[in-house]
A = this chain, B = another copy of it.
Amino acid sequence: MDVQSVLLGFLMKKSMTGYDLKKAFSISFLFFSGLSYGSIYPALRKMENQGMISKRLEIQDGAPNRKVYTITEAGKRAFLDSLRSPFAFELPKSTFLMRLFFFAHLPPEERRAFARQHLDSIEQLRAQLESARPEVEAHADRFQYLCFQFGLRFYRDMSGYVSELIDTLGVEEIENGE
């Protein structure tokens, strides 16, 4: 699923501006990377040219004017097509695992410090996700709530892996008489 399809997906529910779309995305997908305006606005322009969405200008005073986009019938078809398009499992990337792979080149204290720091980051994100729960519960349908739970579990499991890693690093130092 590319940026276009995701934006269309949000527009299936209601008409929105580029600014609104960015917010909707970042609330819905807190547990993974966001979308920048540098990809949203060009995508909206392109889809308007292709007749997938239509634009309505809302003049506001006391605030900047808004360009509200509404999905068209062609846009709905395009969205459903992309939702059904063949799907290939994508392999994840993990900078953390890349570093772990080369851990032998670091002294033990640095290994421990690095792992602890990583655990902190994970816990922080987990807390952030947890605190967004009310917001999510207010707007999500059951599948969207499942997504949110996937996110929480993912961080819970990651936290588990890294905690164990820290234990392992501790044990090996005791074995080495540190």
Contacts and interface: CB of A to CB of B under 8 A. Distances in A.
Contacts of A99: 1, 83, 87
Interface stretch (A15-23, A45-53, A61-69, A90-98): A90-98
Contacts of A83: 99, 102, 105-106
Interface string A98-118: 111111111000100010011
A143 B29 CA distance: 32
Taken together, the copies of this chain in the complex come to 2
A143 B102 contact: yes
Contacts of A104: 141-144
Given A87-B114, A117-B87, A98 B6 contact: yes
Chain A binding surface, main DSSP class:
helix
Given A12-B105, A101-B144, A161 B168 contact: no
Interface residues on A, range: 35 or more
B95 A1 contact: yes
A101 B8 CA distance: 13
Contacts of A33: 90-93
Interface of A: 1, 6, 9, 12, 28-29, 31-33, 79-80, 83-84, 87-106, 110, 114, 117-118, 121-122, 125, 141-144, 146-147, 150-151, 153-154, 157, 161, 165, 168, 172
